[in-house]
Amino acid sequence: MSATNGRVAVSRETVLLRWLSDRGLCLATGERTVEFYRRLTASRLPGVVEVVPADGMLLLVLAPGMPMPAGLPELLDGLNGPPEMEPTMEHCIPVRFDGEDLPAIAGQAGYAEEGLIELLCSLTLGVKFLGFQPGFAYLDGLPPKLHLPRRPNPRKHVPAGSVALAGGYCGIYPLAGPGGWHLLGTTEAMLFDPAADPPARFRPGDTVKLVAT
Amino acid sequence: MIEVVKAGMQDLVMDLGRPGYRAQGVPEGGAADVEAMILANRLVGNPDRAAVLELLLRGPTLRFPGGGRVALTGAEMQARCNGKPMPCGRTLEIPPGGELEMGQASKGLRGYLAVAGGIDSQPVLGSRATFLPSGFGGWQGRALRADDRLPFGVAGGHGKKGVISFAGCKAPLRILPGPQLAGFADAALKALTADAFNVSTDVNRLGLRLTGPALGYQGGALPSQAVLPGAIQVPPDGQPIVLGWDGPVTGGYPVIAAIIAADLSCLAQLRPDNHLRFSFVTLEEAHAAWRKRQQDMDEAIAWAA
């Protein structure tokens, strides 16, 4: 097969479809990812097992052996009307700002530690997508000053409940494990409970406020 | 009930997994070699989705106080029932008090043991599949240990005895172009299909790290994208990682290609030091390959009269 980029169809605007294996269709949805995620999930397309949002893209996971759902490009075009979606939730997460990297981040961004904490607690963060770990949400809404690359050397152990930032996102580790983000503090809030349905506390489109304790 | 006398290297309760939770960061998971799992279930008269044991490389020793009808498929694992050699790929009745001793796999990596009635552990998020990274599902969210006692359901089905003859995996593994294929150098694309890759010792349900020619990526940094098992990610060192069944639902490395659904069961049986090759197919060929595997499975079992 020639080295094509796997592009199979182009819908109006920016929604580009590409296959990922024969089980996934990638949609470039840019800024409208959360909106498309919510609308496509609600539209329950035949043959689509689930809709997975990520950073500026969506993945439609198909049942094995399924071709592209008929009329998908037209359907995507038709999603341009006013959003009709279930309401999102606002979460307040109590945070102890005792993270190892807080002083360094404050220094780099030109704040005193107290000033940085005040800034973080003034933001309304938005849940863009979940990944990395069950319940780990990528939260946007950080000012550009706080857009830092990942640490060059990831930590082998980041405790559960760590509130951290990297790559323009803020995130909270539901589980202990290795991690390369800068640690701001910790929370005792439960973010993932496999016994609950839904198991994750945050859903794409929800908003999050950090509250200093 | 099954009593674990001695645990194997990693014995996990598995079923067909839990689709529907990826948007919450939870991968689908489930049996790595789905075909072997389904065939084991069919041999004992279970529905395809019944929970089985996925046994890694060296199996456990299990006692069946009340007996049971079992089948072992997948990797070619040496097994003995009450000391007598037990052939793989066929239905076997274990008498009450019988002991099933499974040893090392001589070929392949994962064996599947089905018991009539299915392993009856508590479902979590709609599935009995063990998810080790977060420690839930399966048997208490972990691999089996000595003295565990696993209930199984009431045997249903036909009660017939069967034998599998199933075409195994044919090299090379078939792939489709990945979303970032165009960002790779021509030399990398050539190397991907012309050269053999070696399976490193870093092989688990999260992924398989391969060694071979370095695959140079020339595109820029990528935002996190949603990924699937079988996606071939290329980190900066150019040595590809094939994502496994419990791998994260999003990833930040470019995906050069992805293994087709029909060949994921073959991926499950690769063990460290195995060589593998990749070959591009078209989407139509991928779909046809999936249908062919389903048909082969439907025709795989010969039933005794």
ipTM of this model? 0.93
In this prediction the pTM is 0.92
At A43 the pLDDT is: 83
Distance from CA of B73 to the nearest CA of A (A): 22
Residues B110 and B194 grouped into a single domain: no
For residues A113 and A180, membership in a common domain is answered with yes
The answer to whether the Cβ–Cβ distance between B133 and A175 falls below 8 Å is: yes
By C-alpha distance, which of B223, B270, B229, B271 is closest to B248? B229
The H or E element that residue B201 is part of is strand B197-203
Check whether residue B115 and residue B245 sit in a common domain.
Answer: no
Same domain assignment for residues A197 and A106: yes
Same domain, A147 and A202: yes
Please answer yes or no on whether A54 and B224 come within 8 Å at the CB atom: yes
Does the structure show a pLDDT above 50 at A13?
Answer: no
pLDDT exceeds 70 at position A14: no
3-class secondary structure, B252: coil
Residues B57 and B110 in one domain: yes
**What is A113-144 written as a DSSP string?**
HHHHHHHHHH--EEEEEE-SSTT-EEEE---G
Q: Judge if the upstream peptide bond of residue A73 is cis by omega within 30 degrees of 0.
A: no
The per-residue DSSP string of B91-114 comes to: -EEEPTTEEEEEEEEEEEEEEEEE
| End-of-domain residue from the set B164, B193, B210 | B164
* Residue (of B50, B116, B42) closest to B73 by Cα position: B42
User: In chain A, which residues have their Cβ closer than 8 Å to the Cβ of B189?
Assistant: 3
CATH of the domain at B274: 2.40.100.10
> Comparing C-alpha atoms, which of B171, B201, B162 is closest to residue B297?
B162
pLDDT in tens, B204-262: 999 999 999 999 999 888 899 999 999 999 998 999 999 999 999 999 899 999 999 99
Cβ B19–A49 below 8 Å, yes or no? yes
Write down the pLDDT at residue A24: 96
**Tokens found for residue B195:** 């050269």
Is residue B92 domain-resident? yes
Q: Are residues A76 and A94 in the same domain?
A: no
Of B133, B179, B250, the CB nearest to A129: B250
Cis peptide before B172 (omega within 30 of 0): yes
- Number of domains forming the structure of chain B: 2
For residue range B23-42, list pLDDT tens digits in order. Answer: 999 999 999 999 999 999 99
Based on the domain organization, do B229 and B291 belong to the same domain? yes
Contact A1 B282 (CB under 8 A): yes
Angle between helices B34-43 and B283-298 (to 10 degrees): 20
The answer to whether the Cβ–Cβ distance between B224 and A131 falls below 8 Å is: yes
In the numeric block, which tokens belong to residue B16? 């067909």
Alpha-carbon gap, residue B16 to B245, rounded angstroms: 11
Are both B138 and B279 inside the same structural domain? no
A41-76 per-position pLDDT tens digit: 888 888 899 999 999 999 999 998 888 887 787 777
Looking at the structure, do residues A192 and A112 belong to the same domain, yes or no?
yes
Same domain, B60 and B151: yes
Higher pLDDT, A12 or B189: B189
Domain limits at B194? 173-298
Tell me: do B24 and B103 sit in the same domain: yes
Name chain A contacts of B177, Cβ cutoff 8 Å. 1, 3-6, 19
Residue at A2 is within a domain: no
- Residues in chain A closer than 8 A to B255 (CB atoms): 20
* Domain, as residue range, for A203: 90-212
Say if residue A47 is in the same domain as residue A149.
no
Look up residue B204 and give its DSSP letter. Answer: S
Q: Locate the chain B residue with the closest alpha carbon to A175.
A: B134
What digits encode the pLDDT tens for the residues B162-206?
999 877 777 899 999 999 999 999 999 999 999 999 999 999 999
Is residue B14's pLDDT more than 70?
yes
Average pLDDT of chain B to the nearest whole number: 95
| Rounded-to-5 percentages of helix, strand, coil across chain A | 20, 35, 45
* A5:B223 CB<8 A: no
Q: In terms of domains, do B144 and B225 share one?
A: no
Neighbours of B213 (CB within 10 A): 17
Summarize pLDDT for B108-156 with one digit per residue, the tens. 999 999 999 999 999 999 999 999 999 999 999 999 999 999 999 998 8
Signed CA dihedral, A113, A185, A91, A38: sign only? positive
Residues A158 and A54 in one domain: no
Number of CB pairs < 8 Å for A and B? 166
Q: Which of B118, B138, B164 is the last residue of a domain?
A: B164
One domain for residues B212 and B189: yes
Q: What is the pLDDT of residue B305?
A: 62
Q: Domain ends where: A35, A50, A80? A: A80
Q: Do residues B204 and B244 share a domain?
A: yes
Residue B195 CB neighbours (<10 A): 13
Cβ contacts (< 8 Å) between B181 and chain A: which residues? 3-6
Q: What is the count of structural domains for chain A?
A: 2
AA identity, residue B149: R
Residues of chain A positioned with their CB less than 8 A from the CB of B250: 52, 54-55, 129-132
CATH code of residue A165: 2.40.100.10
Helices (H) and strands (E) in chain B, counts: 4, 21
CATH number, domain with residue A60 = 3.30.1360.40
Same domain, A11 and A99: no
Burial A42-60 (b: 16+ CB within 10 A, else e): eeebeebbbbbbbbbbbbb
Does B14 lie in the same domain as B71? yes
Residue that terminates a domain, selected from A80, A103, A131: A80
The confidence band for A165, taking pLDDT boundaries of 50, 70 and 90, is very high
